[in-house]
Structures are given as C-alpha cells and as structure tokens.
Amino acid sequence: MSDYKKAFIELAISCNVLRFGEFKTKAGRLSPYFFNAGLFNNGNALRQLGQFYAKAIIAAQLPFDMLFGPAYKGIPLVSAIAIALAELGYNYPFCFNRKELKDHGEGGMTIGAPLRGRVLIADDVISAGTSVQESVNIIRAEPAIPCGVIIALDRLEQGSNKISAVQEVKNLHHIPVISIINLDDIVDYLKNTDMQQNLQAIEAYRERYGAR
C-alpha cells in the first residue's frame, strides 16, 4: 500500500470519519464499517484531505483541464483540492454549481471558472451515482467534457446489481473513477494493526455484498 493511502486511513480513523462496528446503510444493509467524509470538519483536517486527493490525482496520471465540485459537499472539497494541487505546482481552475439557477447579478448555474475542456469531478463517495449524473449533465450543457471522477473511498460494493456503484458510473458515463483508497486498502491496513478483530466481519460483509 502506498504511504499516502496508509496515512489517509489513519487520518480518517483519527477524525472518526472511518469507524468500525455495526451501521445500517441507506440500502438497509448492516455494514461493519462506516465512512462519513463530513467529519473532516476542521481546517487542518480539510487541508490534509485536499492534499490526499491531490496525491491520488497525480498518481492516477489522468489528463484534465479543470476541477468541478458538486454542491454542497463538493464545494469545500474542490476548493481544498485546487489549493493542494497549486501548492504542488499544478494550478488548475475550478468551479462548483448552485442548487438553484440565479437569474440576477452574474447569474448562471455555476460559480468559479467557466466550464471548459476536460473536467474532473470531485466527490466523497459514490452510492447511487445521483451526484455524478447531475454533475455530468451540468458539464455537458457547457462546451466541456466530463473526463473522470475522484472520490475518497471506493467501497467495492454492489450497487443496484452485481457490479459496484462505481462500476455503474464508469459504464454509464464512459469515464474513469479513481479513489484515494478502497475497501481492499482498509483490509490490508487492519491486518497490521490492533484492530484485526474487525476483519472477520468485513470479510463476511464483502462476501455477501462485494461487487462481482
């Protein structure tokens, strides 16, 4: 596992973003772990989160021209990522959308740089793909092309069928989805910690709900 992946898992655990136990998901499944990126909720945590996204983006070597963050969670996220990339010498424009169209002032559906070229969408996780669908629609309505999605965690879990929600997005929109970590990384991390007691439940959950 890359050092930055291990460090990201440790940050997520320290911020209670990644927890272990028994949690009911939106799909009604009892999951042995829970990931809530909304708990990266202070300045230092957000700064580090942006840095981890930047490292994952650079590692993926995916060509893009600008960043897009879907409202609302994507607004601070895309801002933090843009800053982190700039600190590494990669100065990309970014924008985010409004929830409602503004018909006065500067107007429009987005705030920030104009949507142009190849656009990388930044989100936290993909559950049903609704946020990605909305982002793709906004981007394609402009002279721009959605070229990929970057997320924090890929649960490698079945969506509405036997493939994962992430794979559904890939198939539907024909764009890559990259992540800082996935469930395999969490499992590998736990094997070398004093939290190994969680492995059995995670493996059983993955056997039942893991993507095929």
Residues in Cβ contact with 139 at an 8 Å cutoff, skipping those fewer than 6 apart = 68, 115, 119, 121, 145, 146
DSSP state of 198: G
CA–CA separation, 172 and 176 (whole Å) = 11
Residue 172 in tokens: 């539907």
Angle between helices 183-190 and 199-209 (to 10 degrees): 160
Scan for tokens 């740089």, then name that residue.
Answer: 113
Active site residue 6: no
Q: Which of 5, 24, 73, 102 is catalytic?
A: 102
Active site residue 5: no
Q: Which of 24, 26, 99, 104 is catalytic?
A: 104
Catalytic residue positions? 102, 104
